[in-house]
Amino acid sequence: MLMQTYEARLDGLRKELGKRGLDGFVIPISDEHMSEYVGSYAQRLKWLTGFGGSAGSAVVLKDRAAMFTDGRYTVQVREQVDGKLYDYEDVPATSPAKWIAETAPEGATIGYDAWLHGIEWAESAEKLFAKKGLKLVPVDGNPIDAIWDDQPEPSVAEAAPHDEKLAGRSSADKRAEVADWLKREGYDATVVTALDSVAWLLNMRGKDVDNTPVALSYVLAHADGTAELFIAPEKVTPALAQHLGNAVTVRPRAQFEASLADLKGKTVAVDTNHAVAGIFHALEAGGAKVVRDGDPTIMPKAIKTPAEQQGHRDAQARDGVAVSRFLRWLGIEAPKGGVDELAAAAKLREFREDCGILRDASFDTISAAAGHAALPHYKVDEDSNIPIPPSSIYLVDSGGQYDDGTTDITRTVWIGPGEPSAEMIERNTRVLKGHIQLAMQYFPDQTTGGALDALARMHLWQNGVDYGHGTGHGVGSYLSVHEGPQRISKPGGAFPGTETPLSEGMILSNEPGYYKPGEYGIRIENLVLVVEAPIASEGKYLGFETLTFVPLDRTLVDKTLLTEAEIGWWNSYHEQVEAILGPQMEGEDRDWLKEQCAPL
């Protein structure tokens, strides 16, 4: 019998835990690869609670349950999760482990799925629980899977080779680099678990996760340059097998855990940031010597080859046409009052698909009207959808996946008729000033993202306001739209990467914002490429090449607040927009673009 209500599902889980002798269970949003976006089969938290955000977790005890989310989801979690069933807990003020330690009765046994949690979380929770007389144990099979009758199966979509011309490097060359690292460090092998790392290493792409072109798989890379790919057999086409070659042995994904015992006596490097606790447990039980070290593909993946850089420019040129055509359409239709958030997102997708080679969105479009725009990570659905009100701000954050690049762009626009308030214009102009400041900045080689973050905030700070998210994240090459290790954010924040030096070839976002709860939100986002600075300098200096070209809304700009240099940037940027997009557009679309790109 299907459990239709969230109350019934919670009750069913408690009964299943009772059968297993467990007093509690921890449910994260995760899969066996610690992915940001997970397949439908792994959406256990959403099935149990109704929460549809991309970051959060729950704890279920015998008589209490709690949802844990950070400030991005304060509103959303209360809209989607029944407060009669779950307490709302704020992270980082508390955490699942801390809450369990304070709430569970002494002697309680708490279960967790070691294939969904990181080893460092498991070890720290175990130590904390021991102090409180609690016991943390890995479960044999996830108890939610036991009660989720209509749980989807993992995707069986075929994987495919990624064109070496677009990658700019062969898989053999990449594996040789990993092998050199293994030999240099004295390791026999490394476990590559992150799906985008597997995809990058083997020049392989898939369709197993929405928004990210990856295939559910693992790789064991060896010091002799060979590798073992663990993937469902039905995903491997003759073309992929030929592409992988003799140096890559293909084995069923279901054999991965058992195969770790084959590494007995070997020294194996595993990245704690990307490998679940179950992998560490299996390696140690099988007799391998486990060394905790970074994924050797992370930095090479982040530094794009010349082919990837050019591919990204080409993808952006197509994507910019789609977004520009959408903005023109929106400016005509939304003031009439007949466009809602879902319809706008669907229309933007339609314009992207018009180019004929869109593979997927790079994330679920944030189509946010009025007060919803004040939620930086708002996700529209049938329940939250509202009409876009005339005389209001509308924010759209979206991106596309193309064979040659991954895009991510945010535009904030005024929906007429009427004029925006003086406050809206002033706030938007300060966000724009921060965006320009970062875009124009030169900095010494080895400068970190954390050192640059304040540049994007300084003009907001001067007016006593700020924004609660990072300023920039790394972006993949037809891979994850959120890619590490680089990040532009406040140092010491909740996200890693702010201490990673920026290097030539890295792609990041530049996206300062401002959000007035319940009223409106502003964000301006372009992607940028780290390049050598075109200046005479003492030592090596770097800067940013802007990659995203779509007009910015001049209705929300107070020119008197801009310096001559900032006006010069604006005009130069829009000259490039017209030069890149104009030849691809015609008729009224072309006329609109020319008008939008006129000097400020």
pLDDT tens for each residue of 467-522: 989 999 999 999 999 998 999 999 876 667 789 999 999 999 999 999 999 999 99
Residues contacting residue 5 through CB under 8 Å, at least 6 positions apart: none
- The overall pTM is greater than 0.85: yes
Measured CA to CA, the distance from residue 71 to residue 492 in angstroms comes to 17
Measured CA to CA, the distance from residue 345 to residue 101 in angstroms comes to 43
Q: What is the pLDDT of residue 377?
A: 85
DSSP, collapsed to helix, strand or coil, labels residue 5 as coil
Measured CA to CA, the distance from residue 107 to residue 109 in angstroms comes to 7
DSSP code per residue over 70-130: -GGGHHHHHHHS-TTT-EEEETTTS-HHHHHHHHSPTT-EEEE-TTTSBHHHHHHHHHHHH
Q: What is the pLDDT of residue 3?
A: 64
Measured CA to CA, the distance from residue 90 to residue 94 in angstroms comes to 6
Measured CA to CA, the distance from residue 348 to residue 527 in angstroms comes to 19
Give the H or E element holding residue 321.
helix 306-333
Give the H or E element holding residue 199.
helix 195-202
Residue 505 exposed, middle or buried by CB count within 10 Å (0-12, 13-18, 19+): middle
Q: Give which of 361, 355, 364, 320 is closest to 546, Cα–Cα.
A: 320
Measured CA to CA, the distance from residue 347 to residue 414 in angstroms comes to 18
For β-strands 443-444 and 541-546, DSSP reports them as: antiparallel
Helix/strand/coil percentages in the chain, nearest 5: 40, 20, 40
* Dihedral angle sign, alpha carbons of residues 313, 318, 321, 327: negative
Q: What is the pLDDT of residue 1?
A: 46
Question: Which amino acid is residue 220, in one-letter code?
Answer: L
Q: How far is CA 55 from the centre of its chain?
A: 10
Question: Which amino acid is residue 563, in one-letter code?
Answer: T
Q: pLDDT (tens digit, 9 = 90+) per residue, 65-108? A: 999 998 778 878 998 999 999 999 999 899 999 999 999 999 99
Q: Give which of 77, 71, 27, 23 is closest to 52, Cα–Cα.
A: 77
Asked if residue 523 lies in contact with residue 372, where contact means CB atoms within 8 angstroms, the answer is: no
Q: What is the pLDDT of residue 73?
A: 83
Torsion of CA 47, 52, 56, 58, to 10 degrees: -30
Torsion of CA 309, 539, 510, 164, to 10 degrees: 20
* Residues with pLDDT less than 70, the chain: 1-3, 493-495
Residues contacting residue 6 through CB under 8 Å, at least 6 positions apart: 48, 49, 50, 81, 82, 85
Question: Which amino acid is residue 535, in one-letter code?
Answer: I
Question: Which amino acid is residue 281, in one-letter code?
Answer: H
Mean pLDDT of the chain: 96
Phi/psi of residue 485, each to 5°?
A: -90, -10
Asked if residue 205 lies in contact with residue 162, where contact means CB atoms within 8 angstroms, the answer is: yes
Measured CA to CA, the distance from residue 471 to residue 486 in angstroms comes to 11
Measured CA to CA, the distance from residue 501 to residue 499 in angstroms comes to 6
Residue 67: beta bridge partners?
A: 58, 88
Tokens 């420019």 — which residue?
313
DSSP state of 69: E
Asked if residue 259 lies in contact with residue 230, where contact means CB atoms within 8 angstroms, the answer is: yes
What burial letters (b/e) apply to 507-530, b meaning 16+ CB within 10 Å?
bbbbbbbbbbeeebbbbbbbbbbb
Asked if residue 368 lies in contact with residue 380, where contact means CB atoms within 8 angstroms, the answer is: yes
DSSP, collapsed to helix, strand or coil, labels residue 154 as coil
Measured CA to CA, the distance from residue 397 to residue 399 in angstroms comes to 7
